[in-house]
Structure 1
Amino acid sequence: TNRDVFAFFMDKGWLSIQVFLLRQSTVIKREAALFPCYGTPEDELLSFIMQFYQEQNHILPKEILVPEGIDTELLAETLETTVRIPKRGNKKSMLDLATTNSELALNEKFLLIERSKHKTVGAIQELSEALGIAYIETIEAFDHSNIQGTNPVSAMVVYKDGKPERKAYRKYKIKTVEGSHEFATTQEVIRRRYTRLLREQKPLPDLILMDGGKIQVRAAKEVLEDELGLVIPVAGMVKDNKHRTASLLFNDELVELDPRSQAFHLVQRIQDEVHRFAITFHRQVRGKNSFSSQLDQVEGVGPKTRTKVLKHFKTMKRMREADLEEFQKLGIPLKVAENIKESFSSEVPK
């Protein structure tokens, strides 16, 4: 049987994922991913698997093996293939091996992080010199995410002295823009962020990075300078044909960074981080909106009932696992509760 094996290991807020692609009982390919984890590792792995097949053009196997804690019903329903949690035998051994590889990969990552800690200040100094700015203590970077203009969101990450300040990260649901409008979306987010900092009299960053080129930089500077009277350096992270930062657009000029320099690698880390943060947030918003939309189709569910269900259960998985009595405790009539359970129930494909 053609099957794919997914396993993970999490430590210190980082998630390591290993994928084994088995064909005719032989591992023909291995893939790996390492990134900061903002939710539970099980939810992150679930999202990763769905994206793995939907956005990377991987061929679905006849069977997928996953570790304990994964919503196999939802995964099987979404991907329309068999999903199993192996308990013993060769399948369990293969899953254990993938888990071990995940731990080894993450430990290697931590070693590299430790070795590079002393380089963060040097990276900031190099970047400051390249842009002609005094020491850049704080950087705030923004990225937008939407799929064909739906559920548009933005995200911001903060780096201080070359290190991520995850407690300062912010998420934004776009309120005033419909569809995919890069200029207007940038202006809304920049306006909301720095109007608030001024109102609360909090420190401003030394540099703003936009995950885009001229459009986003111009939009940000219009709000900062013309509306708010602020002079904060803004640079665009210009990408190459591999979607990696190749240079910075600063003061209408391209500033090339030496690919071997610490400044170059710092900017790439920031770009990867803000992009990952925005994509993760967008998946969460899209999932909640899908949940809400499906509830709207259930007979007897009005705005008040929908709000009760979303607020109490939060996820489809929790709602599927609840009994009718839990619905009734929310003041939902038995018949409506039965309609909801029936609408969201489905069998796992065999």
Structure 2
Amino acid sequence: MQNPSLDIQVRTLPTSPGVYQYYDKEDRLLYIGKAKNLKKRVNSYFTKSHDNNRTRVLVKKIRTIKHIVVESETDALLLENNLIKKHQPRFNVMLKDDKTYPWICIKKERFPRVFPTRNLIKDGSEYFGPYTNFKTVHTLLDLIKGLYQLRTCNYDLSKEKIDNGKYKVCLEYHLGNCKGGCEGLQEEQEYRENIEAIRELVKGNFKDSLQRFRKQMMDHAAKMEFEDAQRIKEKIKVLENYQAKSTIVNPKISNVDVFSIISDESYGYVNFLQLSYGSIIRSHTTEIKKKLGETDKELLELAIVELRQRFGSSSKEIFVPISVDVGEKLKITIPQLGDKKKIVDLSVRNAKYYRQERFKQIKIIDPDRHVKRLMAQMKKDLRLPEEPRHIECFDNSNIQGTNPVAACVVFKNGKPSKKEYRKFNIKTVEGANDFASMEEVVYRRYKRLVEEEEPLPQLVIVDGGKGQLSSGLKALEDLGLRGKITIIGIAKRLEEIYYPGDSIPLYLDKKSESLKIIQHLRNEAHRFGITFHRQKRSKAALETELDDIPGIGQKTIVELLTHFRSVKRIGEASKKELTEVIGNSRATKVYNYYLSKKE
């Protein structure tokens, strides 16, 4: 540590749990973090070497360290979260979310109304949610409206006003949507029982309502009130259908939060599911931009604290795919199989789908951001010293050992740059020798780029395994470019990626975007090389005989082939047939040529 003042500040930090704050020389807040052990955590910033450039920049800027000691790690988590939201330091990850969410309100009043709202008023009313979209709210309210007759008016239904006959029933009563509490036609106790059942429904508990309806149905049937019994039976069917659709896992899994994360080089995507009686009552996915190369564990911990606070979750247990430290008051479960594992897998799928949708949007709205993310991901996946903005790939073509050629395709920012594609006729190699051919074309390509002072690629890919890679590497060595250009080989069979000097290949995930780009390069090089090879073979086939006839030019050859369709038919044609196509003089030359060959 270069700064003596900082050294003293770190040495005097307590070993208690708490929150630390870094300030620069202008006394601006740079970063807020939490720790089980303040002294140990802060000291690690100044004693470890950091891979992430932003972390190195942060450490250089630190001049003052302040801290707040708390009782437990849980308190540190909550304090850190609140301070980050309040101060928004430039080096901290923040879960930005400035939209308001809908709630279901059960109003504090006699004969309570049930309605959706975005505004929370502290008047003693009950609010359930928040829900991530209004579609969920309206689906629930439609279910409630179909099961229970509730008032929609905003009258003050005090007992005194009802007894004095202040109100008259409205159209909703005549439509059967309300039982007319405003005229005293419904007892308050009955209405309150309905409200209690609704509370359980929005929590995901269908059991009590189903039992209540079944009892009502049996009571009506016992009294021979079959129409009423049928009406209750239809409500039971509606409720059972809704329960079947909303129940995802075992109904015994209740009051649980599920979190999962997937990430790339620049962003993390965290999905949050809230379960009640086996049903998902909330689903929300958020995108987090990385600032200091945060790990999945760090991002997930941050999101768990923030999302539970934002959505007012009081669940005592959470399911996660990886180990996290979010305080001692929560039970952390990492399911390995069964229903619990299924729900974590579902959360992961939600995060993946969200990421895919974001990619589609980004490609349209901000294509440059998509390219930056893609290049950063390739740099990480392929262990490259810099982003591969310029990639070149080589492929040899010598089908049946004839007409050996090679192709070089060029990708800029992950996309083909076809105007820069190059073809090569193999000049120094006899016969089919892939290794020697690869060495020749790589040498010729980069010798020319160096001589013409053209920019060199960050990555070179050769189609083939260790042999082709060694040949390409030798060409770069001869040009003094080893170490200046990264070169790798890709073997076709198992998509193995080979590095110079490393006998163990790298296997990328089959769904990896980095592998998809490499496969696209390899396939494009193969296609371009095969096309060139076919052209050369076709030309060679034409040149075999017709070009050897004295006095016969290319125009005559085209006329003959257009008419006779093949060299063989030209050789078998009579002089008269030839004369009809190209005239007597040229026909005589062609006819005499083939006649001399038959003798």
Could you state the TM-score of these two structures normalised by the residue count of structure 2?
0.33
2:506 to 234, 247, 255: 255
- Name the CA distance, whole Å, in 2 between partners of 1:280 and 1:266: 21
- For 2:594 and 2:477, how far apart are their aligned partners in 1? 53
The aligned runs of 1:298-317 (5 Å cut-off) are 301-302=549-550, 305=552, 308-309=553-554, 313=558, 316-317=561-562
1:251 Cα shift?
Answer: 3.0
From the superposition, tell whether residues 248 and 276 of structure 1 become closer, same or farther in structure 2 (CA, over 3 Å).
Answer: same
Cα drift, residue 215 of structure 1: 1.1
> What are the equivalent positions in structure 2 for 1:235-246 lying under 5 Å apart?
235-240=488-493, 246=495
Query: What one-letter code is carried by the residue in structure 2 that aligns with 1:199?
Result: E
Out of 455, 470, 477, the position equivalent to 1:225 is 477
Provide the C-alpha distance between the structure 1 equivalents of 2:559 and 2:385, rounded to a whole number of angstroms.
46
Name the structure 1 match of 2:423: 171
Decide which of 142, 145, 158 is 2:410's aligned counterpart: 158
DSSP-derived class of the 1:258 partner: coil
What is the CA distance between 1:274 and its match in structure 2? 0.7
Cα pair distance change 1:170/1:339, threshold 3 Å = farther
For residue 144 of structure 1, what is the aligned residue in structure 2?
A: 396
SS at match of 1:151: coil
Alignment correspondent of 2:441: 189
Q: 1:289 to 1:251 in 2, by over 3 A?
A: same
Residue 428 of structure 2 aligns to a residue whose secondary structure is coil
Residue aligned with 2:449, SS: helix
For CA contacts below 8 A with separation 6 or more, give which structure has more relative contact order.
1
**Pairing 1:40-51 to 2, within 5 Å after superposition:** none
Distance 1:262 1:289, change over 3 A: same
Paired residue for 1:133, among 385, 390, 396? 385
- Pairs within 5 Å for 1:311-330: 313=558, 316-317=561-562
Q: Counterpart amino acid of 1:251?
A: P
Q: Distance in 2 between matches of 1:341 and 1:136?
A: 57
Work out the CA distance in 1 between the residues paired with 2:560 and 2:477: 42
Is residue 528 of structure 2 the alignment partner of residue 283 of structure 1? no
Q: Who is 2:455 aligned against?
A: 203
Distance 1:272 1:201 in 2: 29
Tell whether the 8 Å contact from 1:291 to 1:315 is kept in structure 2 after alignment.
no
Distance 2:526 2:419 in 1: 17
Cα separation, partners in 2 of 1:163 and 1:340, compared to 1, 3 Å: farther
What is the identity, as a one-letter code, of the residue corresponding to 2:496?
A: S
Structure 2 CA distance for partners of 1:260 and 1:229, relative to 1, 3 Å: closer
Larger Rg: 2
* Deviation per residue, 1:156-204 (Å, 9 max, x gap): 1000000000000011111111211112101111121111111111111
Q: Which amino acid is the alignment partner of residue 222 of structure 1?
A: K
Spell out, residue by residue over 1:73-121, the C-alpha distance to the aligned partner (whole angstroms, 9 max, x if none). xxxxxxxxxxxxxxxxxxxxxxxxxxxxxxxxxxxxxxxxx88955554
> How far does residue 264 in structure 1 lie from its aligned partner after superposition?
1.2
Distance 1:192 1:314 in 2: 38
Distance across 1 between alignment mates of 2:535 and 2:559? 11
Q: What is the Cα-based RMSD across aligned positions, in Å? A: 3.5
Deviations 1:228-273 (A, max 9, x none): 44531110012226xxxx2311233322212122111111111111
Q: 1:234 and 1:166 mapped to 2: Cα distance?
A: 21
Q: Give 1:209's aligned amino acid.
A: I
Separation in 1 of the partners of 2:463 and 2:433? 14
TM-score using structure 1 length: 0.54
Identity %: 36
Residue 589 (structure 2) aligns with = 336
1:127 Cα shift? Answer: 1.6
Q: What is the match of residue 184 of structure 2?
A: none
Does the 8 Å contact 1:292/1:310 carry over to 2?
Answer: no
CA distances 1:275-322 after superposition (whole Å, capped 9, x unpaired)? 1111111111111111111426x7xx14x74xx32898499448969x
2:464 matches 1:212: yes
Partner AA of 1:309 in structure 2? Q
What are the Cα deviations for residues 119-148 of structure 1, in whole angstroms up to 9, with x where unaligned? 554333222112232111100100001122
**Partner of residue 525 from structure 2, selected from 274, 280, 283:** 274
Change (3 A) 1:229 1:132: closer
The whole-number CA distance in structure 2 between the counterparts of 1:135 and 1:310 is 51
Task: Tell me if structure 2 keeps the 8 A contact 1:143–1:278.
Answer: yes
Q: Letter of the 2:512 partner, please give it.
A: S
Structure 1 residues 289 and 202: alpha-carbon distance in aligned structure 2, compared to 1, 3 A threshold = same
Q: Please state how far the C-alpha of 1:337 moved relative to its aligned partner.
A: 4.6
Which residues of structure 1 form unaligned runs of 5+? 1-113, 343-350
